[in-house]
Structure 1
Amino acid sequence: MLETRIFPRPPRRSLALACALVLAASAAHAAAAPLAYVTSEKAGVGVIDLDQMTLTQTFPVGAGGPRGLSLNADGTRLLVANKNTNDLAVIDTATGKVVQRVKIGKNPEYVRVRNGYAYVTYEPGEDGGPPGAKPDAKGDNKPAANAGNKPGADDDDANKPPAEIAIIDMKNWHVIRSVTSGHETEGIEFSRDGQMMLVTNEGDDTVSIYHTRTGAPIRTVKLAAGGRPRGIRLSPDGKHYVVTLESLSKFVVIDAHTFEVVKTVDTKLGPYGVAFGPNGQRLFVAAARDRVVQVFDGHTYEHVADVPVGQRCWHFSFTPDGSKLMVACGRSDAVYVLDAKSYQPLKQIGELPLAWGIVTYPHSDGSIESH
């Protein structure tokens, strides 16, 4: 006679625990996949699988015109500045859904996250480009000839409201203070100890320095007239800041202790995004109007190479393993992928109309985030 054996059914609690463990394992696996997030002013936020180097999905943010972006420490929240809706969208990276919107002000642009706070620049007096900017023959925004005029000109930045920096507590998503800056505030960087926040002001040709937590002003560094400073990055050894001057096609090296300019270096046309490579041996500068990423020695600042890319390439990021450089090119509607050592082109990832900024998780160095 066949024997029927009856096995006891596992308790429901055990089943629930087993399911939870499976889900947790799946989530951990998904979180382990390196990703890049790219703001596309016309499409939303593109998500790139860095193992496959393919665009896998797009997070919709409405008709916001997303530009600046940054991630929280564990990569679960992506913060995106939206120029058309004047807010900061907080996206759950697991679902791609906007879970919070923080009202900022007109024309929010650049976003940095540090120690549980978000710092967002916005420009009440600007429309999103240099004064008098018109597309040149290459399709890039080129400042008009009088963009660097002295105060008193009809289109001078001094006659417009200054930019501001909203400081947001990421625990409750409240704007705890707004710091008045210069005109057309662009890049944000922090001192090595995190006590100071430095911002570039395109319209004033200055770098403003504030206490990071309180927003209290410390000092203002005046740069060359008409230079329009945009990108800023601290050197890995903490000794210098590098600031790009878009209209003069140069970058300056500023002593991090005295805040004096110690070196000026010529670049190709229209330098914007700037970052040191993962090991600090090379400095990379996106010269947008000449359609190249320039490479310089990270210590002497001697020119090393010019790497052709697409049109209106402002921001870039290294992959988390440091092996590739990814350049967001707005007028080419694509991200250009380069070998970080040989600088050879590897791939173009399209379907990213008016690509603006790019960051990765795990976090890596680039023109927007630095770690």
Structure 2
Amino acid sequence: MHDTTHRDNIHGNDTPRNDTPRNNARRTLTKRALSVGAVLVAVALAGCGTESKDQPDKTLGAVKPAKPARPAQPAEPEKPLVRGLPGMPPVLDKTDVYAADRPGRLSPVVKDFPSRVYVPNTESDTVTVIDPKTYQVIETIPVGVQPQHVVPSWDLKTLWVNNNRGHTLTPIDPKTSKAGKPVEVHDPYNLYFTPNGKHAVVMASLDRELVFRDPHTMKRLKTEPVSCYGVNHADFSLDGRYFIVSCEFSGELLKVDTEKMKVVGQQKLPFDGAMPQDVKISPDGKKFYIADMMAHGMWVLDGDKFDKPKLLPTGKGCHGLYVSRDSREMYVSNRGEGTVSVFDFTQDRLTKKWRLPDGGSPDMGGVSADGKVLWLSGRYDSEVYAIDTRTGVQLARIPVGNGPHGLAVYPQPGRYSLGHTGIFR
């Protein structure tokens, strides 16, 4: 039929024109037939090697309906790779070391732990346990002599109380808030964990040592003597390969190679009588901030270069540094004037200052899991402050033991703990 139609079309085109009605009708039919034939020929040619990608079958009788083209998928941005410390969990975001600390992002390890605030009272040799929902003290735990900080372990399963002059660490089960058998550890002023979880690092302040220990048994593995006096606080680089340590009594900073467990840099702060305290890294990992309670501000340091830092005044007795859950701001406690300064990382400047009603001595602490409350110990006033992070309004002022110091809010978001009162990644 295909051939006959084709011949009829050709024959019709060769017929002399005649204007009779019959011939007009014949010409109309002939033109229609020619149009149909042309379409069939085009389709047949398309089936003979000139098909589109949407017509894969080569015989006319086997033509299938064209599959709709898939919409173009946007190319996934390449995740920046960071050559981290061997064994360290991968960096989630090269531009934000605190990416795992968003509100509610609790590890499965801690999701069943009750929310509590643990306050070590250095002069009462106790830990006060507070329910943050009711602002009520629910328990007081006897511990060793001069507890300085309550420190979450790298694996998030244990809270370690640093009994500085008792030369012990008291483990607390955060699921029950019950204390376990103390472990003998000499001069544990503060405690950190390497980002790969391989070592605990004891800040032996008076011993002038950094002591690398087994993170579970606390068995001494290596001792790194230091020439500075009063090692106390630290934070790790983005890749975890080094950490910066403050030496409060000699006004110095150390740079320590994490894997080699060795001091690789040391410098004196450019301020007579400097007394550096807490240390925190910026979200992008490019700067370290070191609180100084005698210089009344934060030193801003390029950790990679470890060159001369610059001082940013914040307030009298600058002491503790705590990053907000959105990584935008950092809360700075000024212990000597009863205030909290707010530093904006995106603007690179101080934007607010909150003053505690009736004064106070805001010291160490942490941010609630939802990011809405900043908790700080009142070092010289035997109290704890709860502060609204949106307004700076004091929500509660809770009496505790004498000399409250490095309190821990627990649990908090994050995959693992680097120590102190809660530095999470």
TM-score > 0.5 by shorter chain: yes
Counterpart Cα distance in 2 of 1:186 and 1:117:
17
Higher relative contact order (CA 8 A, sep 6+): 2
State the shift of 1:74 in Å.
5.1
Unpaired runs of 5+ in structure 2? 1-108
Alignment of 1:17-28 (within 5 A): none
Alignment of 1:272-287 (within 5 A): 272-287=319-334
What amino acid is aligned across from residue 280 of structure 2 in structure 1? R
Give the structure 2 partner of residue 207 of structure 1: 253
1:31-81 per-residue CA deviation (whole Å, 9 max, x = no partner) reads 34322211112151122223333222122214x121122112454311111
1:310-367 per-residue CA deviation (whole Å, 9 max, x = no partner) reads 5332212100110111111122211110111111111112233321112222225998
What amino acid is aligned across from residue 286 of structure 1 in structure 2? S
Counterpart Cα distance in 2 of 1:203 and 1:351:
28
**CA spacing shift, 1:354–1:262, aligned 2, 3 Å:** closer
Contact 1:80 1:111 in 2 (8 A): no
The structure having more radius of gyration, on CA atoms, is 2
Contact 2:365 2:409 in 1 (8 A): no
What amino acid is aligned across from residue 40 of structure 1 in structure 2? N
State the shift of 1:217 in Å.
1.7
**CA spacing shift, 1:339–1:166, aligned 2, 3 Å:** same
Matched, 1:304 2:357: no
Contact 1:33 1:51 in 2 (8 A): no
Counterpart Cα distance in 2 of 1:112 and 1:78:
12
Give the structure 2 partner of residue 314 of structure 1: 363
State the shift of 1:95 in Å.
4.5
Contact 2:333 2:363 in 1 (8 A): yes
Give the structure 1 partner of residue 302 of structure 2: 255
User: Which of 38, 53, 56 lines up with 2:119 in the alignment?
Assistant: 38
Alignment of 1:54-93 (within 5 A): 54-62=136-144, 64-73=145-154, 75-93=156-174
RMSD after superposition: 2.5
What amino acid is aligned across from residue 236 of structure 2 in structure 1? F
Counterpart Cα distance in 2 of 1:35 and 1:94:
10
**CA spacing shift, 1:52–1:75, aligned 2, 3 Å:** farther
Contact 2:113 2:174 in 1 (8 A): no
Counterpart Cα distance in 2 of 1:304 and 1:31:
37
Counterpart Cα distance in 2 of 1:100 and 1:211:
32
State the shift of 1:271 in Å.
0.8
Tell me the TM-score normalized by structure 1. Answer: 0.75
1:170-200 per-residue CA deviation (whole Å, 9 max, x = no partner) reads 2333121222232111211111111212210
Q: Which moved more, 1:314-323 or 1:108-117?
A: 108-117
Matched, 1:47 2:129: yes
Matched, 1:163 2:208: yes
2:291 aligned counterpart, secondary structure: strand
2:336 aligned counterpart, secondary structure: helix
What amino acid is aligned across from residue 346 of structure 2 in structure 1? H
What amino acid is aligned across from residue 336 of structure 2 in structure 1? R
Counterpart Cα distance in 2 of 1:339 and 1:237:
26
Give the structure 2 partner of residue 132 of structure 1: none
**CA spacing shift, 1:37–1:302, aligned 2, 3 Å:** same
2:315 aligned counterpart, secondary structure: coil
Q: Higher strand proportion, which one?
A: 1
What amino acid is aligned across from residue 120 of structure 1 in structure 2? V
Give the structure 1 partner of residue 421 of structure 2: 368
Matched, 1:344 2:397: no
Give the structure 2 partner of residue 233 of structure 1: 280
Q: Which moved more, 1:31-40 or 1:340-349?
A: 31-40
Alignment of 1:123-138 (within 5 A): 123-124=205-206
Aligned-pair identity (%): 22
Unpaired runs of 5+ in structure 1? 1-27, 125-161
Tell me the TM-score normalized by structure 2. Answer: 0.66
What amino acid is aligned across from residue 114 of structure 2 in structure 1? A
Contact 1:317 1:325 in 2 (8 A): yes
Counterpart Cα distance in 1 of 2:214 and 2:332:
32
What amino acid is aligned across from residue 120 of structure 2 in structure 1? T
Counterpart Cα distance in 1 of 2:169 and 2:361:
24
Matched, 1:357 2:390: no
State the shift of 1:101 in Å.
2.9
**CA spacing shift, 1:237–1:359, aligned 2, 3 Å:** same
1:264-294 per-residue CA deviation (whole Å, 9 max, x = no partner) reads 2112111111122222221221111111111
What amino acid is aligned across from residue 116 of structure 2 in structure 1? L
Matched, 1:291 2:371: no
User: Which of 222, 237, 251 lines up with 1:191 in the alignment?
Assistant: 237
Contact 1:112 1:369 in 2 (8 A): no
1:275 aligned counterpart, secondary structure: strand
Counterpart Cα distance in 1 of 2:252 and 2:110:
45
